[in-house]
Structure 1
Amino acid sequence: MTSAPDITLKSWLMVALLGLIWGGTFMVQKLALGHMPPFWVAAGRIGFAAVITIAVWQLRGGRMFTTEATDWPRLAFVSIFSAAVPFMFLAWAQQYVTSAFTGVSMAAVALFVLPLAHFFVPGERMTLRRTLGFLIGFSGVVVLIGPAAFASTGSPLEGYGRIACLAAACCYGVSSIVLRKLPPLDPVGLSAATLIFGSFVVIPIAFVQHGLPPMPPLEGLALVALLGLVPTAGANLLRIVVIRSAGPVFMSLTNYQVPLWSVVFGVTLMGEPLPGSMIWATLLILSGVALSQLGALQRLFGSKAT
C-alpha cells in the first residue's frame, strides 16, 4: 500500500538541487550533439550512468529486492519511460526545436502529473489551491521565456521535435506515478535497475539508427561523461528518493525550476542578456510553488495546515 507523502526539509533541498542540475543539462546536451548523433548521446549518457550506479550499488552490498514476479513489468515500464524513451526523444528533438521550447515542455511535466496523481496516488488529491499553484508556476515559466517559447527554428522537422518534447514530458509524468507505486526497494538498487533496463533499450536503437558509435574528440567524451555522471546517475537517484518519499506531485516542482536555472546559466556562463521578465517570472514561479505546497510549508515551519 502506498503511504502518504512525507515532505521534509531534506525533500525541499533535494528538489532545489535537482532543479539546479537539470537546469544546465540541456545546455550540455546541446554541446554534446555537436560531437555525436542524438541516440548515441542518449546511449552514452545512460550507459555511463549505469556503470557508475552499478559500481556504487555493489559497494553497498547489491541490495534491492523483495518484489514479486508481478513487479518486474512495472519496474521495466519505469525504466523505459523514466530514462530510455525521454532521453532519446529529447536528444533527437534538440536538433530541431529551440531551447526555450524544450524548457516550457519540461515545465509541462507538472501538468501531466497532477491529474494522474489525483486518481492513482493516495494523499495527492488535485485540490483547487494546488491546481491554482501549479498553473501560476507554469505561467511564470511562460513569462520567463516569453515569445521565444514558440519561436520557430525553420526546420521542416520542428513540429515533430515539439511533439517529441511533449512526449518526453508525458513519459516523465506517467513513470513518476508508477515509480511511486512500486513496493519498498533500496533506492540505489532501484536506480541501477532503471538505468540497466534503459541501456538495454537505448544502445541497440543507437546501433540500428546510427551504426557503430563514432569516436568523438576528448571534449565530446567529457560532455557525455558529464551528462552520465551528474544529471543522469546522480540526479536519477535523487529523483527516485524524492518520488518514493515526498511523492510525484512534489517532485514535479523541479520542472518549474529548470527554465529558471537555464536562464541563470545562460547569463552567467554564456554571456546571454538578462531577460527583463526574470524578476516577475521568478515571483510567479515561487508563488505557485508556495501555493501548491502550502500545507507542506506550514508543517515544515511548525504551523498547522488549514
Structure 2
Amino acid sequence: MKENKILVNWLLLLCLILLWGTSFLFTAIAVDTIDPLSIVFFRVLIGAIVLTGYLYFRQKQLPRVLKSWLIFLLFGFVGNLLPFFLISWGQQTINSGLAGMIMAIMPLITMLLAHYFIEGENLNVFKIMGFLLGITGISILLGPVFSGSMQEMLSGIAILIAAGSYAVNTILVRRLPRFDPVVAGAGLLIAASAALLIPWLLLNKAVSDEVSTMSLLSLVWLGIGPTGVATIILFVVIDRAGPTFLSTINYLIPVVAFLAGVLVLNEPLSWVSLVALMIILIGIALTRFRASHNARV
C-alpha cells in the first residue's frame, strides 16, 4: 500500500513537471500568431473556469469579504498576470528552451528574498555559494542575448523579471493571511481574469484569420493544462507528500523546457546553455545543504 502511494506521488509530480515544463513550448506556438495580452487573458480565464469547477466539486465556497478578493487580486497579478505576460512577450524573441532555463533562477531569488522577509530563513555559506553559482549560470545563458539586438536584451530582462515576480509571489503567500489552497487558486484566477477584461477589450486588436489553429489550440491548452489542471495537481501533491517533495520540480522543469524546445520546435542544441543550466541546478542543490554550526550572515 505504501509503495503504491509513493508511486502515485511520483506520477503526479511527473505530470506537474511535464505540464509546467512544456508550458514554454506551447507559449512559443501560441505567441506565433496571438498577441501576449490575449494569451494571458484567455489563459487565466480558462484556468479560472477549470479551478472554479474543481472548487464546487470539492464543495467549497468563495469568500464574500472584499479584503480576501483584494489579496487574491494581488496574488493573481504578481503570480500570474505579470509573469505570464512577461514570458509571452519575451518569447516573441527568445526561444522556449532558453526562457525555461532562465526561469531556473527563481528558487534562488526566492531564497534571497526569504532571508530578509521570512523569519528563520537566514542565509548561510552554502546558500550564498549556491546563489553565486546561479548568477554565474544566468550570466552565461544571457551573454549571447545581451550581446545581440536591443529587443533580445529586453526580452531576456523580461524573463528575468518574470522569475523575480514568481519569487515575490512565493514570499507574499507566506507573509499574507492563509487561505484554503483550492479557494485561493480559484479566487486569484477569477480576480486576475476580471481585472484584465477591460484592458484586453480596450487594447486588444480584433481577432483575425491570421490566428493559426495550432496557436489557438496551444492557448486553450495553456489555460486547461499548465494553469488549471496543474494547479489542482499541485494541491494534491502538497496534501499527499508535502512541500519538500514538491521542491524537486525546480531541478526538472528547466530541463523539460529545454528538451521540448529542441525536440519539438527544432531549437538549437547549445552545449554552452546546457553547461550554464547545470551550473544553476548545482547552485540550487547547494542551497539545500546546511552550513556547519549553522553559520549565518
Q: Same fold (TM over 0.5)?
A: yes
Change over 3 Å in CA distance of 1:266–1:165 after alignment to 2: closer
Corresponding pairs, count: 284
Report the alpha carbon displacement of residue 76 of structure 1 after superposing the two structures with TM: 2.1
Q: Is the 8 A contact 1:133 1:288 kept in 2?
A: yes
Q: Please, which of 80, 88, 93 is the counterpart of residue 91 of structure 1?
A: 88
Q: Corresponding residue for 1:42?
A: 40
Change over 3 Å in CA distance of 1:44–1:108 after alignment to 2: same
Amino acid at match of 1:21: L
Q: Which has the higher helix share?
A: 2
Q: Please, which of 30, 33, 39 is the counterpart of residue 32 of structure 1?
A: 30
Cα distance between partner residues in 2 of 1:238 and 1:134: 29
Report the alpha carbon displacement of residue 53 of structure 1 after superposing the two structures with TM: 0.9
Q: Please, which of 159, 164, 180 is the counterpart of residue 165 of structure 1?
A: 159
Q: Corresponding residue for 2:116?
A: 119
Q: Please, which of 36, 56, 59 is the counterpart of residue 57 of structure 2?
A: 59
Change over 3 Å in CA distance of 1:211–1:278 after alignment to 2: closer
* Contiguous gaps of at least 5 residues in structure 1: 1-7, 296-304
Q: Corresponding residue for 2:283?
A: 288
Report the alpha carbon displacement of residue 127 of structure 1 after superposing the two structures with TM: 1.7
Cα distance between partner residues in 2 of 1:266 and 1:95: 14
Cα distance between partner residues in 2 of 1:246 and 1:80: 23
Q: Corresponding residue for 2:217?
A: 222
Q: Corresponding residue for 1:207?
A: 201
State how 1:1-306 maps to structure 2 within 5 Å: 18-63=16-61, 70-99=67-96, 102-103=99-100, 105-137=102-134, 139-140=136-137, 145=141, 147-152=143-148, 154=149, 157-214=151-208, 216-237=211-232, 246=243, 254=249, 257-272=252-267, 274-277=269-272, 280=275, 284-294=279-289
Deviations 1:210-259 (A, max 9, x none): 24444644333211111112211133445677899638xx9787555443
Change over 3 Å in CA distance of 1:243–1:208 after alignment to 2: farther
Change over 3 Å in CA distance of 1:11–1:107 after alignment to 2: farther
Q: Is the 8 A contact 2:102 2:138 kept in 1?
A: no
Cα distance between partner residues in 1 of 2:175 and 2:236: 13
Identity %: 28
Q: Is the 8 A contact 2:45 2:223 kept in 1?
A: yes
- TM-score normalised by length of structure 1: 0.74
Amino acid at match of 2:166: Y
Cα distance between partner residues in 2 of 1:59 and 1:109: 33
The DSSP-based 3-state class of the residue aligned with 2:271 is coil
Cα distance between partner residues in 2 of 1:242 and 1:141: 29
Report the alpha carbon displacement of residue 48 of structure 1 after superposing the two structures with TM: 0.9
Cα distance between partner residues in 2 of 1:11 and 1:142: 35
Q: Corresponding residue for 2:3?
A: none
Report the alpha carbon displacement of residue 25 of structure 1 after superposing the two structures with TM: 1.6
The DSSP-based 3-state class of the residue aligned with 1:170 is helix
Report the alpha carbon displacement of residue 98 of structure 1 after superposing the two structures with TM: 4.7
